[in-house]
Structure 1
Amino acid sequence: MTCAAARGFSVGTVTPSDYATAPQSCHSPAAIPESSRAARCRRGGAPASCQGSSTGGLAVAIFHCNISVASRAVGASAVAGAAYISRSAIEFEREGTMFDFTKAHRHERLVADLGIALPDNAPKRFGERGALWNEVERVEKKADAQLCRRIEWALPDELPDDEKIRLARKHVAQRAAAGHVVDACIHCNVDGTNWHVHELEPLRPVGENGFLAKSENVYVCRKLGEKDDRKASAKEFAFLKAEGWEKVYRYRIGGETRWLTPTEAAARVRGKLGQSADPEDVSELTRKSRQGRNPKQETRYLTDWNEPTKAEEWRSEIAALINDALEENGFDGRVDHRSYERQGIERVPQVHEGSRVRAMENRAKAEAEAAG
């Protein structure tokens, strides 16, 4: 296994308890001095770019956070993603290839490698990038498997550089404390602007011996006299069965198909045949009425990370951390993770063009100026 870090920084591994104070490794020649824009954003006079619709007397700053999932179905690789954000070279063991991003990038450069933050119960070997992301590629076996979650969010221009790094570390520590394994780095444009955080997180929960299952199949169980059904794994059902709980099967009785327990199905058959019917006839007809051998099953996810509301929750957490940092450093600007429409602001949202589009525009402008 090979993980060659780019010259000038090292990969670190820490736990949530000490992550916020762990030393970072910077990949910039020198700290970028605090801009005059940041100085003007302090209390007493925010520039137009830092102002927005007034909310409680505070200016609304710009918020950017993108959450997505890397999928093998579209050619993504967790190993490649980790090598890219860390500007390092990592061997992809499954294919025997090397992803090398140590050379300078045209549009972005690495500012700080924040390393890998692990939950307290995670194996220490996951602190090495090659080991972590090759293990992710190994356990996700499907050809169209989802591999990892990508969280990219912007750091406020108003903050000094050391406060930006501190803010990023605080969020990573928060994620690790919630059970996520987090690989994080800070990038900026080649001119030192647009500081933003790249975070990669495996989608599976982690235990002492490695990654756990994302989900498990559970049986739908029912008991006479109980109002609600229960969901139980195979191990859990062994205990419930002793208490009178039964699995639910599909039965077709009297032209009607329903999910019933064997006891409920037998009662319905007896009702059709009459209470004086032979028990053996009831048992035989009940058996023949069952549609298939498999009981009703559902999928139970072991975490709530895939719930539709989670992205909104995570974005709001980042916004809260940014606002706390702005307040601690004496800035009036605030961010809001909600859309303008939800905030009640009548403004047309900006269209994100990206660095490549901006580069094309700059080249076209330069060519036009050269042509006179």
Structure 2
Amino acid sequence: MSYFRLQAKIISKKTQSAVASASYRSGEELYSERDEEMKSYKQREVAPVSFILKPDHAPEWTLDREKLWNEVEKVEKAWNAQLAREVLIALPVELPEDVQQELVQSFVQEEFVEEGMVADVAIHRDKEHNPHAHIMLTIRPFNEDGTWGQKKMRQYEFDQNGDILRNNKGEKVFQTVPSTDWNERETLVKWRTHYADAINESFKEHGIDQTVSALSFEAQGLDQIAEVRLERNEYQYVKRLEEKGIEAQTFYHQLNQEIRKKNAEIAQLNDKIVFLSAKQKQADVQTVLHRHTSDVTSQLNADYEKSWHFMKGRLKENFSFDAVHDQLQGLYRWEERKVEPKQVEAQVTHAILNASHKAYQEHKTSFVKQQGFDPSNFRSLFTERLDAFETLTDSVKKNQQTVDQVVSHAERTYRAQSLIVHKTFNDLFPDIEERYEHNDRTVAYKSKVLTALQTNDLKAIPVAREVNHHLQLQELINACEKAEKVSEQIRIQALIRNKLGTEKEQLIRDGSNLNAIYQTSIKLNTAQQLIERYEAKAKQMEQELNTLIWETFPQAKEKLLKDVEQLPLEMKTDLMKHFTQQNKLTKAPTLKACLQVAKKEQSKQTMAYHAYQTKPDARFAERLGSQQKSLSHFPTGRASTELIEQLIDQAERDQHQAQHKTPAPTKLRRKSKDKQLRRELGLEFEL
């Protein structure tokens, strides 16, 4: 079974030679200009597999191992300078050798080379049970022109007006900071977790039912003692005895047996601890929830207090955030499916009656017939339909008043309940990012976690360090669901409109059923008006998704993100859906991968649209304008193949060219930016 290993160390000029280190690991003779001698070591039983990978902007001479490390030793003048970083990784013995090499190459390319390092890799397989790779990495970055860059840079301090601070001597105040994050502990942790992910993905692809972890048992949340890894000879000796049914008496094997017994005892003890702590946690959640409920309700103004009591009486014993949320969503659906269409129908009916009356007065017989009126009996039919219109108007007005009243009560109560949920959750998980503190797209998830804490549903309770990750995904999922919904409504109404348009044309050709023509004309125009309303909602959702895309891919170049904004809403939704589905805590999908999925989804829609065009209903849509005829499959438009390919190529280029990460903004700037973002999205509560 594989064990995980990734460790890093520095090769220092003080005690080591970069050329000698490269020679020893690659098995290649190299001349050291600093020592003026040839570096050569005993040949290995199995020749190492060695290769060099470099960023696109690094000069070609970096692919020459001897020149590379001699140049490194020349540019590092200090006697104790850091020459290189060596990363040692163990290769999974369950994978074939060619797959092991692919794993190493892809990992090195993604984690080191694409970050701006030149990587000199040597894979050693001297011992069959211990394949591993040595990765020597340059520490100094390269500039875009291929020259050596700086290891450190100045970071100036600014006052409240944005001016550079100066000391008493008038000198600018600055701190010397690394130009890269390659020496940070967090970066090493990232490499370890990404390598573990890469191994696990490779296991999955090759049908191997195993996983490895970069974390210690403690970091994984496992209250266990790690067993001692046996040396090769002892391991084989223990296995031979086990096959004979004999218990080995070696020291480390016996120690592992004791560790297994202790782990079993710990597991039993943890079951009891979990039971007791769950009871205590339940009481804590109830206490915090009660405190914030009292705090919020005591500050409600008259309107909010009235709405609170109204919804409490409406929902009775089931008065909670989830119940209010479900009630509000039900009201929105009622308004969208019943009230709003009737409202539009009344407006359309009024317009048709007005237009028909005007056409009758102007003796436009053809138009009058197309709206379902008989010119010879126009007045009596018009009066009858006018009475029906007035009845419809009264009904619409009454329903609208009812829904407005109930929705306003539900919305106020929902805001108050949301604030209680946010405050309670933020107290229990104090380390969440500020932008999620009062983000309405995450409130339903927060409520679900609070319920899980109260019911001791451990699977639904996130680990504290993963909370921000879950909140980000919930925000994106929520936005994608809303965008999908509005696109689907446009598509459905477009299909209804096309079908009604075909029916009306047939009825007009027959000319016998005037009432059917009139009713179909109302339904047809109502569908078109609803399309326009949903298109307005789609534009609003598009702005929200644009903001989230910029936020989700902060390392992408500004031009690329602006071009992505030009994609139709459906493609952006597919792009973000893929991001949420493939996002892992330690590694998220690239913008290029998301664009490729969006392209594939649009190709499917194109095929479905071509199939639809052969149907009779589609012929009515073909006679409409270019923006209207394809709404049934491309509700907010279609991106050209050239544009998508261009975006994918640009995303790939940006990914390879990214050498320096953008310095993180100060805490103050980040907070003000997040606050401004929440205001723009209407996510702050003002009761």
Q: Which residue number in structure 2 is paired with residue 163 of structure 1?
A: 99
Aligned to 1:180: 117
What pairs with 1:149-298 in structure 2 (closer than 5 Å)? 149-174=85-110, 175-190=112-127, 192-207=128-143, 208-222=145-159, 226=161, 245-250=163-168, 290=169, 294-298=171-175
**SS of the residue 2:190 aligns to:** helix
* SS of equivalent residue, structure 1 residue 98: strand
**Residues 180 and 201 of structure 1 are in contact (CA less than 8 Å); yes or no, is this contact kept in structure 2?**
yes
- For structure 1, list consecutive stretches of 5 or more residues without a partner in the other structure: 1-49, 51-60, 230-244, 251-289, 359-372
Query: Would you say the 8 A contact 2:52–2:118 is kept in 1?
Result: yes
Q: Partners in 1 of 2:109 and 2:84 — Cα distance?
A: 18
Q: For residues 97 and 319 of structure 1, do their structure 2 counterparts lie closer, same or farther at Cα, with a shift above 3 Å needed? A: same
Q: Relative to structure 1, is the Cα distance of residues 63 and 297 closer, same or farther in structure 2, using a 3 angstrom cutoff?
A: same
Q: Normalising to structure 2: TM-score of the pair?
A: 0.32
Higher relative contact order (CA 8 A, sep 6+): 1
Counting only pairs closer than 5 Å after superposition, residues 276-355 of structure 1 correspond to structure 2 as 290=169, 294-350=171-227
2:38 equivalent in structure 1: 98
Superposition deviation, residue 199 in structure 1? 0.3
Question: Quick one: distance in 2 between partners of 1:342 and 1:300?
Answer: 29
Q: Note closer, same or farther for the CA distance 1:185–1:354 as it changes in structure 2 (3 Å cut).
A: farther
Q: What does residue 64 of structure 1 align with?
A: 5
Question: Which residue pairs with 1:87 in the alignment?
Answer: 27
Take 1:70 and 1:248, find their aligned partners in 2: how far apart are those partners? 38
CA pair 98-350 structure 1, distance change in 2 beyond 3 A:
farther
Q: Aligned to 2:62, which of 123, 126, 139?
A: 126
- Relative to structure 1, the CA distance from residue 296 to residue 104 in structure 2 (aligned partners, 3 Å threshold; closer, same or farther) is same
* Cα separation, 2, equivalents of 1:351 and 1:150: 25
What is the distance in 2 between the residues matched to 1:309 and 1:123? 29
Indicate conservation of the 8 Å contact 1:184/1:198, yes or no: yes
Paired residue for 2:302? none
Deviation at 1:344, TM superposition (A): 3.1
2:74 is the alignment partner of 1:138: yes
Deviation, 1:118, is: 0.6
Higher strand share: 1
- Residue 90 of structure 1 contacts residue 130 of structure 1 at CA under 8 Å; is this kept in 2? yes
Q: Give the TM-score taking structure 1 as reference length.
A: 0.58
Tell me the SS of whatever aligns to 1:165. Answer: helix
- Check the 8 A contact 2:141/2:148 in 1, yes or no: yes
Cα deviation, residue 327, structure 1: 0.6
**Partner SS, residue 153 of structure 1:** strand
Of 134, 147, 154, which residue of structure 1 is paired with 2:83?
Answer: 147
- Per the TM alignment, residue 158 of structure 1 is displaced from its structure 2 partner at its CA by 0.6
How far apart are the structure 2 equivalents of 1:160 and 1:218?
48
Give 5+ residue unaligned stretches, structure 2: 236-687
Shift of 1:216: 1.9
Q: Is the 8 A contact 1:110 1:185 kept in 2?
A: no
Aligned to 2:532: none
Residues 80-115 of structure 1, C-alpha deviation per residue, up to 9 Å, x if partnerless? 1111110111111122122112x224xx743412x1
Deviation per CA, 1:287-328: give whole Å up to 9, x if none. Answer: xxx5xx644221132212122211000111111111111111
Is contact 2:164-2:172 (8 Å) kept?
no
Aligned to 1:54: none
The 2-side partners of 1:116 and 1:95 are apart by 23
Following the alignment from structure 2 to structure 1, what is the Cα–Cα distance between the partners of residues 36 and 25?
A: 21
Give the 3 Å change call, closer, same or farther, for CA 63–143 of structure 1 in structure 2. same
More helix by share: 2
C-alpha distance in 2 between matches for 1:197 and 1:349: 24
Q: Is the 8 A contact 2:89 2:132 kept in 1?
A: yes
What's the % identity of the aligned pairs?
A: 32
How many Å separate the matches in 2 of 1:249 and 1:109?
62
180 and 158 in structure 1: CA distance in 2 versus 1, 3 angstrom threshold: same
Structure 1 residue matching 2:199: 3-state secondary structure: helix
Alpha-carbon separation, structure 2, partners of 1:78 and 1:354: 31
Q: CA deviation at 1:146?
A: 1.0
Whichever residue aligns with residue 82 of structure 1, its letter is A
Amino acid at match of 2:104: A
Report the Cα distance in structure 2 between the residues aligned to 1:348 and 1:69, rounded to whole angstroms.
30
**Equivalent AA in structure 1 for residue 131 of structure 2:** W
Moved more, 122-131 or 293-302: 293-302
Counterpart-to-counterpart distance in 2, 1:166 and 1:217: 39
- Is the CA contact 2:156–2:164 (under 8 Å) kept in the aligned structure 1? no
Call closer, same or farther: CA 1:302–1:124 in 2, change over 3 Å.
same
Amino acid at match of 2:22: A
- Residue 167 of structure 2 aligns to which amino acid in structure 1? Y
In structure 2, the residue corresponding to 1:166 is in which secondary structure?
A: helix
Corresponding residue to 2:47 among 106, 110, 120: 110
Single out whichever of 296-305 and 318-327 deviates more from structure 2.
296-305
Taking the aligned partners of 1:354 and 1:116, their CA distance within structure 2 comes to 32
Structure 2 CA distance for aligned equivalents of residues 87 and 127 of structure 1: 16
Secondary structure of the structure 1 residue equivalent to 2:185: coil
User: What CA RMSD, in Å, does the superposition of the two structures yield over aligned residues?
Assistant: 2.5
Closer/same/farther in 2, CA of residues 76 and 325 from structure 1, 3 Å limit = same
Superposed CA deviations along residues 121-170 of structure 1, whole A, max 9, x for unmatched, are 00001110011101111111111111111111111111112111111111
**Which has the greater radius of gyration?**
2
**C-alpha displacement of 1:352:** 6.8
